[in-house]
Amino acid sequence: MLRADNLSYSYGDFGIGVSLEVETGEFVALIGPNGAGKSTLLRLIYGLLKPEKGRVLADGRDVLRLSSKERAKLLGYVPQNHVPTFSFRVLDFVLLGATPELGAFGSPGKEHRERAERLLKHFGLDAYRQKPYTSLSGGQKRLLLLARAMMTSPKYLLLDEPTSELDLKNALLVLGTVKRLARDGVGVLAVLHDPNLAYLFADRIVLMRNGRIVAEGKPSEVLSEELLSGLYGVKLKVMECNGERVLRVLPEVLP
């Protein structure tokens, strides 16, 4: 289990206070308005930020006390934004994910290359292995970032807006891939902006606002008009369509 235990962190006049759990094989979607603290929470869990109080436990181990190599075996992290500093070949970019195992001056061996090849095939990118990273589409780049994060075979995956700037087809492709990772036993915590996508793919949804969790549960439990209208500050209606729930913004709040 991945557990954020009474995490507390503040910057300026904004503060976060959160407890959260993610099981292996579970896809948890974290949703909420801009500025709710979702991305900051992921960085706290991964150890990029040090909490003022509380701790993060991955399978009972304190994340902040782990070496980068030990942490990489437990946690994978894909940030919201990634700007490549060099036009790596696709295969070489995935191999960068092995850096925590190799150290700053280590070189990937045969085992690492074979693992990278398997991941590229798993994510449907093996035909692009020799192409430059910058030549890929937005959806392919997101899949490549997932492949790189999986190079150390982490048990838990933290994703910050994995569908950012993607069209609907690519968003569905990426989240479908993430869902398969969860079914294979990886615990996933993903920041998503679209509650409809969270409903379609997540096993559990966590609602966050002003640095606090305001509700969590199964999608059918938390995807309610009252909770979501209060969360986003706009009047929403939940509609049923072929047995599925769909959010709709009411006409009176549209421009």
- CATH assignment at residue 63: 3.40.50.300
Rounded Cα–Cα distance for residues 195 and 34 (Å): 13
What is the mean predicted confidence (pLDDT) over 45-51?
Answer: 94
Could you tell me if 150 and 105 lie in one domain?
A: yes
Contact assessment for residue 36 and residue 60, using Cβ atoms and an 8 Å cutoff = no
pLDDT band, residue 214 (cuts 50/70/90): very high
What is the mean predicted confidence (pLDDT) over 179-187?
Answer: 96
Could you tell me if 54 and 104 lie in one domain?
A: yes
Handedness of CA 214, 210, 159, 154 (dihedral sign): negative
**CB 147: neighbour CB atoms within 10 A?**
24
Could you tell me if 238 and 198 lie in one domain?
A: no
pLDDT band, residue 229 (cuts 50/70/90): confident
Could you tell me if 72 and 85 lie in one domain?
A: yes
pLDDT band, residue 255 (cuts 50/70/90): low
Contact assessment for residue 78 and residue 160, using Cβ atoms and an 8 Å cutoff = yes
pLDDT tens across 189-210, in order? Answer: 999 999 989 999 999 999 999 9
Domain that residue 233 falls in: 224-255
pLDDT band, residue 131 (cuts 50/70/90): very high
What is the mean predicted confidence (pLDDT) over 14-36?
Answer: 96
Could you tell me if 134 and 240 lie in one domain?
A: no
Query: What is the reported pLDDT for 76?
Result: 95
Query: What is the reported pLDDT for 24?
Result: 97
Could you tell me if 6 and 131 lie in one domain?
A: yes
pLDDT band, residue 165 (cuts 50/70/90): confident
pLDDT tens across 80-116, in order? Answer: 877 666 788 999 999 989 888 776 667 788 899 999 9
Could you tell me if 242 and 142 lie in one domain?
A: no
Q: Is the pLDDT of residue 225 over 60?
A: yes
Query: What is the reported pLDDT for 249?
Result: 64
Of 103 and 39, more confident: 39
Could you tell me if 218 and 203 lie in one domain?
A: yes
Identify the helix (H) or strand (E) that includes residue 191. Answer: strand 187-191
What is the mean predicted confidence (pLDDT) over 128-143?
Answer: 90
Q: Is the pLDDT of residue 254 over 60?
A: no
Percent of the residues in the chain that have a pLDDT greater than 90, as a whole number:
64
Could you tell me if 159 and 67 lie in one domain?
A: yes
Mean confidence (pLDDT) of the chain = 90
Written as one letter, the residue type at 2 is L
Could you tell me if 207 and 255 lie in one domain?
A: no
Q: At what angle do helices 138-149 and 168-183 cross, to 10 degrees?
A: 20
Rounded Cα–Cα distance for residues 21 and 27 (Å): 11
CA 44 to chain centre: 13
Q: Is the pLDDT of residue 251 over 90?
A: no
Could you tell me if 255 and 180 lie in one domain?
A: no
Number of domains in the chain: 2
Could you tell me if 164 and 50 lie in one domain?
A: yes
